[in-house]
Structure 1
């Protein structure tokens, strides 16, 4: 009798779980408050990151999004950036109709695969695979499953549940697991006013958020990124394109970049050094000399981007830019710095981020 009751209880729990899961694939179960100001609703977004070591990271995501109208198509976000350091393990999409029935299965080979850089780049190993799907009718639901492994641990995905206007969140979670010997730093932004749960231990970080109604843009409102919650993470010990490092603060970051990536690239030939010294010898001061050198660089070289491996961060040698007559932002910056150094003018190599773009 007791065994029978246990079996009946287990059956009921399994049934309830299956029913609740099935409810995520139809718009009928979306709470009314989440449909307001929403073109799409994230039903569940679970990101799991396992830092296996400072040189290996496994990232898994399961994202279920119900798209209510055509303006919500962009909220699907079914894509994956990759390069030679990323091993794609899983990439697939299931499409459901409004009643929760699977109407299409899309495998990795069916994703569009294109370069992830613009026309100004001569060559790069950065690419992106993305879903190209035209719905037959609305609403519909997309389930996006992805998993990849990488030896780049310098950049850990953030917990960023609300990614755009007119997007509601039913449930979103983020879990970061790591060995106890790794030191993980985090920075929380704009989490006040949101019901965010978090659980922090010596080897795991977990955040979750539920029932966030869509945000409607307003005139003269702050930047979107300044009003939505975001938690950023970084490991003190990391690997970037095969270069290992340990960085505690910005000073150590700058020291690492200079000594490991930049210092060895200031290798102008003796002939170029003599030429540039001759060019500025009659200028009255360092400002005038710098202007002459900037004009020299502008007349001599042109911008062409080549970003492969650590080349996305490490500039070409100054001698190569001088010989070839071209380089990317890092290469041209570094070349100009080497020319200034050749005539005794101190300058500093700087890395600047604007939005999602890195510039040197």
Structure 2
């Protein structure tokens, strides 16, 4: 039986924070009666945590009888981004219920950065008790609190500190391998973020996290002669600091492999810059630290910053390790600040980093840290321009022609990434499949791509079938092959949580040259506008043989959420109606 099938009456955690900065989570799980054996899993990091004092009791009426030798299996977890995680699986016998007690010991208090206010199993009641010594203060906040049920939190001052008690009825949510180990992606579930500054910091969690992180990172800084020689060779003859910055940035982007090896606190603290350089690989914190050290060596002021990508459960706007899932580099040239992400192989300095647009960063520096906001691109900066030219074929009613699309800003990053990593033939095959989908499963061929610094363009041949029907007096032209509004999303309805990659403005112009003349018609315009979204559709006949259909679509959202979902889907419904209605062309006699 899978762990998710365990039904829990109550789960309690009594967390004791010690004066030396370590902590213990004393956990008690009351399992409901079951006719079948089940498995209760304990997920932990064996580099940071020790599981001790495991006790299993089976319920006999009103009494509990301890199982002297409970069945416990331990195995390592093999995941790409996690290297030090394990699972202890405790067999729960069938019967009237059971109780499991165990303790989780950890020597690094900063690792206690959040409490999940939800559950991956059926739990009636979730209790937390936090015992905070007088030498420290609990600083906290709760995200997505609107999803909480029967939540209460209060505190009592004791002789040794403060005892916080939290109780709630948790929602059961679907788990995935990463979330079981505290890596929350594409989630909107309630979470309490925490930090415990020493008394000297008061409630200044930002300064405490900054100083703690800085102390750890300082031991991984500095570059040796080998690294310095390479940096000097790259910038030889270049005196302009911005040009030096761009050369070093591109070198690390293009010559270092992204490898996430997270062992214990290595999930948060980078490896030494010299080690990363020697291995030619690393993850975001490793490569950002190396880049920062190389820039500082050349006299370009640089720091690193904690960040949260768009699919993280929260923004990095609260001083807790649980707030961040990314690290970037910041550089300063002639009074201008540049956010650099060496793990993004297509990012260009002075443009927004797509994964952290408009997100909060915690700049780690000697001045106690600083909250800053990453830039985001406007819809106008992320333009998408389609030009489609088609001609009718009287023999088979097919439309044949060509198309070209130019992506400005970061709107075409999804293509640029594929272009940078795929062989040309593979990219062409993948692109052909994509654009055939974009054009409503019509035929695309002879695809050509041009990758410029500030834009990306695609052109090709297009053949459209099954969209023309005629009778003696009229011809019906269906335009449901028009490129869809959201290019990377095939559904007619957007789901909450869908990320669009960026805001954008899209303009599509389709010109169809017919074989026989038709009666000109008055231009027709249809518009839909709501907060953050605008769609303007126009149909016209510039001449007696030409039909022109165009639309301009602007969306000022990066993702669909509870607030904007209805507006976005109404826009999609409006668009579908416009393309589902045929244009009726009255033939000239």
The verdict on a shared fold, with TM-score over 0.5 as the criterion, is yes
Structure 2: distance between partners of 1:135 and 1:109: 10
Name the counterpart of 2:131: 177
2:105 pairs, out of 149, 155, 159, with 149
1:111 aligns with 2:76: no
C-alpha contact (below 8 Å) 2:148/2:170 kept by paired residues = no
Structure 1: distance between partners of 2:122 and 2:128: 18
C-alpha contact (below 8 Å) 2:196/2:205 kept by paired residues = no
Instruction: Name the CA shift for 1:303/1:106 in 2 (closer, same or farther; >3 Å).
Output: farther
Q: Which has the larger radius of gyration?
A: 2
* Matching of residues 44-193 of structure 1 within 5 Å: 44-66=10-32, 78-93=41-56, 110-115=72-77, 118-119=79-80, 124=83, 126-131=84-89, 143-156=99-112, 158-164=114-120, 167=122, 169=124, 171-189=125-143, 190=145
Instruction: Name the CA shift for 1:224/1:86 in 2 (closer, same or farther; >3 Å).
Output: closer
* Matching of residues 253-272 of structure 1 within 5 Å: 253-258=209-214, 260-272=215-227
Name the counterpart of 2:249: 294
Name the counterpart of 2:358: none
Structure 1: distance between partners of 2:35 and 2:70: 26
Q: Is the deviation greater in 79-88 or in 102-111?
A: 102-111
C-alpha contact (below 8 Å) 2:22/2:107 kept by paired residues = yes
C-alpha contact (below 8 Å) 1:92/1:107 kept by paired residues = no
SS of residue matched to 2:141: strand
Instruction: Name the CA shift for 1:208/1:336 in 2 (closer, same or farther; >3 Å).
Output: same
Name the counterpart of 1:327: 282
1:207 aligns with 2:166: yes
SS of residue matched to 1:267: coil
Name the counterpart of 2:561: none
Alpha carbon RMSD of aligned pairs, Å?
Answer: 4.4
Calculate the TM-score normalised by the size of structure 1. Answer: 0.63
Structure 2: distance between partners of 1:216 and 1:147: 25
Name the counterpart of 1:241: none
Instruction: Name the CA shift for 1:330/1:65 in 2 (closer, same or farther; >3 Å).
Output: same
Structure 2: distance between partners of 1:216 and 1:148: 23
Q: Structure 1 residue 140: deviation in Å?
A: 8.3
Gaps of 5+ in 1: 1-37, 218-222, 239-244
Structure 1: distance between partners of 2:97 and 2:249: 55
Name the counterpart of 1:194: 149
Instruction: Name the CA shift for 1:101/1:341 in 2 (closer, same or farther; >3 Å).
Output: same
Q: Structure 1 residue 305: deviation in Å?
A: 4.5
Name the counterpart of 1:235: 196
Q: Structure 1 residue 61: deviation in Å?
A: 0.9
Instruction: Name the CA shift for 1:132/1:43 in 2 (closer, same or farther; >3 Å).
Output: closer
In the alignment of these two chains, the number of paired residues is: 295
C-alpha contact (below 8 Å) 2:273/2:290 kept by paired residues = yes
Name the counterpart of 1:358: 325
Structure 2: distance between partners of 1:296 and 1:192: 45
1:42 pairs, out of 2, 5, 8, with 8
Q: Structure 1 residue 120: deviation in Å?
A: 5.9
Instruction: Name the CA shift for 1:177/1:231 in 2 (closer, same or farther; >3 Å).
Output: same
1:264-297 CA-to-partner distances (Å, cap 9, x unmatched) read: 4332234532432332345585554334223322
1:186-227 CA-to-partner distances (Å, cap 9, x unmatched) read: 324417873334331232111223xx486799xxxxx99646
Name the counterpart of 1:29: none
Calculate the TM-score normalised by the size of structure 2. Answer: 0.41
Q: Structure 1 residue 234: deviation in Å?
A: 2.4
Instruction: Name the CA shift for 1:175/1:337 in 2 (closer, same or farther; >3 Å).
Output: same
Instruction: Name the CA shift for 1:235/1:288 in 2 (closer, same or farther; >3 Å).
Output: same
Instruction: Name the CA shift for 1:112/1:103 in 2 (closer, same or farther; >3 Å).
Output: farther
Name the counterpart of 2:339: none
Structure 2: distance between partners of 1:316 and 1:330: 8
Structure 2: distance between partners of 1:160 and 1:172: 10
SS of residue matched to 1:201: strand
SS of residue matched to 1:178: strand
Structure 2: distance between partners of 1:39 and 1:264: 45
Q: Structure 1 residue 147: deviation in Å?
A: 1.0
SS of residue matched to 2:247: helix
Structure 1: distance between partners of 2:283 and 2:148: 43
Greater helix proportion: 1
